[in-house]
Structure 1
Amino acid sequence: MKLNNDPMGTAMQDYLQGSKEAKIVVESNLTEDDEIPVAYLFRELDEMPELEHLALEQCRGSILDVGAGAGCHSLVLQERGLDVTALDISAGVAEVLTQRGVRQVLQADVFNLDTPDYDTLLLLMNGIGIAGNLEGLARFLEHAKKLLKPGGQLLLESSDILYMFEDEDGSVLLDLNAGYYGEVRYNMRYKEQQSGEFDWLFIDPSILQDYAEAHGYTFEHLYEGESGNYLARLVRQAD
């Protein structure tokens, strides 16, 4: 399957075909270029950090794994007998999910779904970043109500990246005219393919709590990771 402008899907398919050293280049407006070893996207349960173990333990009912990637989380949940659907916007990634044995796969933009079928929306690996910016966060939280049953939960990982703006003396240098510091622009490259620039959100947990409560959710801070990332649970309240 030849893919165009689908670096994630192409890289994952190459990995399955034997390119075990494949890497995806990540460009951003915040730091120098970084690389994601594609092998990391295929990690097993015993290779996952504690935060992910906890998130998987907290999943319940009918689960939508948003931005499922290579399906490492969906496969664990499926093996535990849970009702999980893996969602990814990439056609190439959806093909990988099927090849790896995920039984329920959706290739779609989460914002185009509107069926209230789920007890849990799972967004790991900074998955809430798909909101793009603060305006998008409000939009996502409202949209998630259409997907969650009453009392349903969002389990999401994000990070407060304020530390990236700290000077050597510990002071913080922010351009107050540049918008919220957690709004980052990315481009991903693999071989000749590029995603094109897209917005990604890293959200301070206190701001996330404010947004959650304003949009009809309770907020619970479940875990703080070693690198400043955290796991939060948002529960949809009755309308």
Structure 2
Amino acid sequence: MDPHEDAYGQSIRDYHEHGTGFEIIERDDGHIAPSRGPAMYFGDYDDWGTDEQTALGHLRESVLDVGCGAGRHTLYAKQQGHEVAGIDVSPGAVAVSRDRGLDRVEQCDVSDVDEAFDSDAFETVLMLGVNFGLVGTGETAPTVLSALATVTTPDGWILAQSRDPHDTDEPQYQEYHAFNRDRGRLPGALRIRARYKTYATPWFDYLLVSPTEMDRVLAETDWARTETWQGEGGLYTAMLEKEK
């Protein structure tokens, strides 16, 4: 990756090293807004929503953290005595995670996870921090979830957080949902990039779904939603298990 394409990684690297940083999210309809900022990627257990906290009570054996960022969930799992590994596409995020004490962190896209790790390597996969979105689109989700099925044991599960995109009355979001429907995409399908100072990531797809929409996405995969914990502001975390 070109260093100037790692806006996300550079912002959390600066926050890690200097305590400052910001992140701007640009959407493909021209909407631009600041994110909550890199501080959230360093939050401790007490800072997380009840849905994430409840889900983390279901960690088992070896754990893979998808989109690990600065390593907040991976570090928690390690502190609970689990063998852990993390992946992130951002070289800056990987560097920060390693600096914070995580040895097994790889720069890897989730769709390539079955090339980076052995089959049946993990009992638990984390897609927290709304990282179910890393499946990309409804069309790419089966490929991503198939790769995760390969690296998990037959009884392994995914703890996946998403946000119900319909839980809003903001016109800027409702109009974007309509824009997506008009072009044949799920309402919560985002096409975005992150910006920081002179850095900008390539455009990428990120998917927000309601629980019912998650079930429709999972229908073409080996996974099914078996339990759901509700959070605040439309957030929820689901347990996904392989269908027998």
Q: Do these two structures clear the TM 0.5 threshold for a shared fold by scoring above it? A: yes
User: Per-residue CA shift, 1:90-109, capped at 9, x if unaligned?
Assistant: 11111111100113212211
CA contact (8 A) 2:110 2:144 kept: no
Residue of structure 2 in register with 1:85 after alignment: 85
CA contact (8 A) 2:4 2:198 kept: no
Question: Tell me, which stretches of 5 or more residues in structure 1 are unaligned?
Answer: none
1:112 aligns with 2:139: no
1:147 aligns with 2:146: no
Residue of structure 2 in register with 1:159 after alignment: 163
CA distance 1:226–1:101, shift in 2 (3 Å): same
Residue of structure 1 in register with 2:7 after alignment: 7
1:177 aligns with 2:182: yes
Question: Could you tell me which amino acid in structure 2 is paired with residue 161 of structure 1?
Answer: P
Residue of structure 2 in register with 1:186 after alignment: 192
The alpha carbon displacement at 1:145 in A equals 1.5
User: Per-residue CA shift, 1:194-230, capped at 9, x if unaligned?
Assistant: 0021111111211212332442323223211111111
For 1:8 and 1:187, the matched residues in 2 are separated by 9
User: Secondary structure of 1:87's match?
Assistant: strand
Residue of structure 1 in register with 2:65 after alignment: 65
For 1:183 and 1:202, the matched residues in 2 are separated by 6
Q: Normalised by the size of structure 1, how large is the TM-score?
A: 0.89
The alpha carbon displacement at 1:75 in A equals 0.7
User: Secondary structure of 1:111's match?
Assistant: helix
Deviates more, 1:2-11 or 1:109-118: 2-11
Of Structure 1 and Structure 2, the greater helix share is in: 2
For 1:17 and 1:162, the matched residues in 2 are separated by 37
Residue of structure 1 in register with 2:21 after alignment: 22
For 1:32 and 1:10, the matched residues in 2 are separated by 19
Question: Could you tell me which amino acid in structure 1 is paired with residue 22 of structure 2?
Answer: K
Q: Within 5 A, what are the aligned runs for 1:93-112?
A: 93-112=93-112
CA contact (8 A) 2:111 2:143 kept: no
User: Secondary structure of 1:184's match?
Assistant: strand
Question: Could you tell me which amino acid in structure 2 is paired with residue 88 of structure 1?
Answer: D
1:226 alignment partner, one of 213, 220, 232: 232
Deviates more, 1:201-210 or 1:59-68: 201-210
Question: Could you tell me which amino acid in structure 2 is paired with residue 192 of structure 1?
Answer: T
The alpha carbon displacement at 1:32 in A equals 4.1
CA distance 1:105–1:218, shift in 2 (3 Å): same
User: Per-residue CA shift, 1:70-126, capped at 9, x if unaligned?
Assistant: 001111111111111111111111111110011321221122222221111100111
User: Per-residue CA shift, 1:16-50, capped at 9, x if unaligned?
Assistant: 221x2311111124654123321121111222221
